[in-house]
Structure 1
Amino acid sequence: MKRLLLIATLALVASCQLVYECPEDGKVFKCSSEPLEVCGIKTVNGEQIKETFANSCQACSAGKVEFTIERKCEDYLEEAQFYTPSDKKIQECDDQIEPKCAWFDQDVKCLVYPCAINAKNKCSSCQVKNVLYTTEGKCSKSIQFHQMIKNE
């Protein structure tokens, strides 16, 4: 019950990390000349390739990436597996058990540590509001502590 209350509280104090899905045809309609570094992500052979760009417009042009996440790629754990915009649209998950550590977006202000929860698989963690990415296996307090310091 306390964990559920914590998750509800986190959802109230959080603001969503900006995820921008690139148009499939490479045309970008929401361009800004202001630099706002983003992590551009493209999936190649089941692996996410991440690269930092000056802004979403630059990253999405000519189909370089599928989607972008606010902030530089280096601001996230190297092993982070981000949710694609289509992952967030899945309504139902299977019961397959593949433990994941589900990390809340960096704008969540955690009341207690860690700033992540254990999930039985990627799909089930995607159903939790404000979870941005996962890492393999159950959450490790030492990794979470490293992540908290890195973001401050």
Structure 2
Amino acid sequence: MKRFILIAILALTASCQVVYQCPNDGKVFKCSSEPLEVCGIKTIKGVQIKETFVNNCQACSTGKVEFTVEGKCEDYLEEAQFCSPSEKKLEECDDQIEPQCAWFDQDVKCLVYPCAINAKNRCSSCQVKNVLYTTEGKCPKSI
């Protein structure tokens, strides 16, 4: 039984969603075609453009995207606005009220839907540990 619990814990920690900041030097990388699909995100005029890539290397090569999140873009809510690594590092947020639903990554195990919290704005949402992305407005009550 202890062995089963240990294997279950290892499986859960292995499924964490990793956010990776791409280098911004515009280099072309020699990438493998080994599939480990990622959602690549690039912000253009304040709008996140999301595209699924075969792997992290191909997404980041030649500056195609700013950062990646593990998994296909289609696996997430269409309106998801991912918290970038630079947003996670901000030390201060303004007090502007623009309600956001802050959705947790897979490290947080929720017992009920939604696996999210209400926050006053996007900046404060992305400051919360284990928040992966936000959606506009208050969190849904249930599905």
Shift of 1:32: 5.7
Which residue matches 2:5? none
- Counterparts of 1:89 and 1:28, CA distance in 2: 27
Check conservation: 1:16, 1:130, Cα contact below 8 A: no
Which residue matches 1:137? 137
Shift of 1:115: 0.3
Which residue matches 2:91? 91
Shift of 1:26: 2.9
Q: Aligned letter for 1:109?
A: K
Unaligned stretches of 5+ residues in structure 1: 1-12, 146-152
- Counterparts of 1:78 and 1:113, CA distance in 2: 17
Which residue matches 2:53? 53
Greater Cα shift, 94-103 or 32-41: 32-41
Which residue matches 1:7? none
Q: Show the 5 A alignment for 1:114-125.
A: 114-125=114-125
Unaligned stretches of 5+ residues in structure 2: 1-11
| TM-score normalized with structure 2 length | 0.82
Which residue matches 2:67? 67
Check conservation: 1:28, 1:57, Cα contact below 8 A: no
1:86 alignment partner, SS class = helix
Shift of 1:106: 3.1
| TM-score normalized with structure 1 length | 0.78
1:25 alignment partner, SS class = coil
Check conservation: 2:52, 2:72, Cα contact below 8 A: yes
Query: Across the two proteins, how many residue pairs are aligned to each other?
Result: 131
Greater Cα shift, 19-28 or 52-61: 19-28
Q: Aligned letter for 2:68?
A: T
Q: Show the 5 A alignment for 1:6-21.
A: 16-21=16-21
Q: Aligned letter for 1:99?
A: P
Q: Aligned letter for 2:24?
A: E
Which residue matches 2:79? 79
Shift of 1:81: 0.5
- Counterparts of 2:33 and 2:88, CA distance in 1: 29
Larger Rg over CA atoms: 2
RMSD: 2.1
